[in-house]
Amino acid sequence: MTLTDTSRSGSAARIILVTGPSGAGRGTAVKALEDLDCETIDNLPLSLVPRLLDGPAPERRLVLGIDVRNRDFSVAAFLDLVEQLRAGAAPVELLYLDCAPEVLMRRYSETRRRHPMAPAETPAQGIQRELDLLGPIRVRADMLIDTSDLTPHDLRAELDRWFDVQGSSRMALMLHSFSYKRGMPRGIDMVFDCRFLKNPYWEVALRSRNGRDPEVAAYIATDDRYAPFFVKVNELAEFLLPAYRAEGKSHLSIGFGCTGGQHRSVALAEAVARSLGEKGWHVGVRHHELERRGALGTAEVAETPQ
């Protein structure tokens, strides 16, 4: 699967790929984004995406809903497509709609539908099979929204907060914490290395906790270098964010990394998110290592929209 020079040379219209397990709300999300003046296509086979982009460059944000039920879907082909799109001129974001297995099971029970990945088996088997299949895609997502506790109206409101960007008047921020052992998440615009700070891992009482714990955060803050670092990061962000916004950037990702992705990077991401949220920026936080360990289900959004 390759993209031609024509598709690479078009305008920098934003491309948003939407996927997730069946029943998590992908169809609702695609329709909501269409209402936000996006051009949307749902259930498009992967093999047709390059042909779509060979045509005239989209003038509006292009939303593509990707379903595992498509005849040519595979995880490898999907991730290959994402890499090829990111090598082009247009900015690409992967939006993953997540949902707890028990909630998906309840939704299937209410609708009495058969699961597409287990037509002759129980919905529970199909749900688990699909979640296992989509695992590699989930960890690559730029944005992750857990719909377990969201009504369709709530999901539309969440998408409105992130994607209803009028001109350059708003810009959404996503702060990521990650482990250098596992590598930097894709799509990060700026990265700060937190490995020079005191490591709570060496304190037995704090080792099993994470940077969202007040005692862990307080321990890290006792490092004499913490306060100057925190101030400088905030000053740099406050200097750069208006410039990015003026350039028309609608979404910016900032990463904080440490050795294990559990303590220092998490604490810094949380602290900077609070600080920027208090200044009026719309901020979300995603902790990749905590998600991997099941210690955190989804991205959390600071309710202080710009």
Domain CATH for 14: 3.40.50.300
pLDDT digits (tens, 9 = 90+) for 86-143: 887 678 889 999 999 999 998 888 777 778 877 778 888 889 999 999 999 998 888 8
Co-location of 104 and 35 in the same domain: yes
User: Has residue 229 been placed in a domain?
Assistant: yes
Q: Who wins on pLDDT, 6 or 13?
A: 13
Give the domain range for residue 275: 172-301
Return the pLDDT at 103: 92
SS3 55: coil
CA dihedral 225, 226, 228, 233 (to 10 degrees): 130
Co-location of 86 and 193 in the same domain: no
Average pLDDT over residues 166-183: 78
Co-location of 195 and 149 in the same domain: no
User: Has residue 306 been placed in a domain?
Assistant: no
Domain-ending residue, one of 110, 134, 163: 163
Co-location of 22 and 158 in the same domain: yes
pLDDT digits (tens, 9 = 90+) for 195-228: 999 999 999 999 999 999 999 999 999 999 999 9
CA–CA distances in Å: residue 40 to residues 36, 53, 187, 266, 300: 10, 13, 22, 35, 26
- Is beta strand 62-65 parallel, antiparallel or unpaired with respect to 172-179? unpaired
pTM of the shown model: 0.62
Measured distance CA(289)–CA(110) in Å, rounded: 34
Return the pLDDT at 8: 33
Average pLDDT over residues 37-45: 89
Count how many domains the chain has: 2
Return the pLDDT at 54: 80
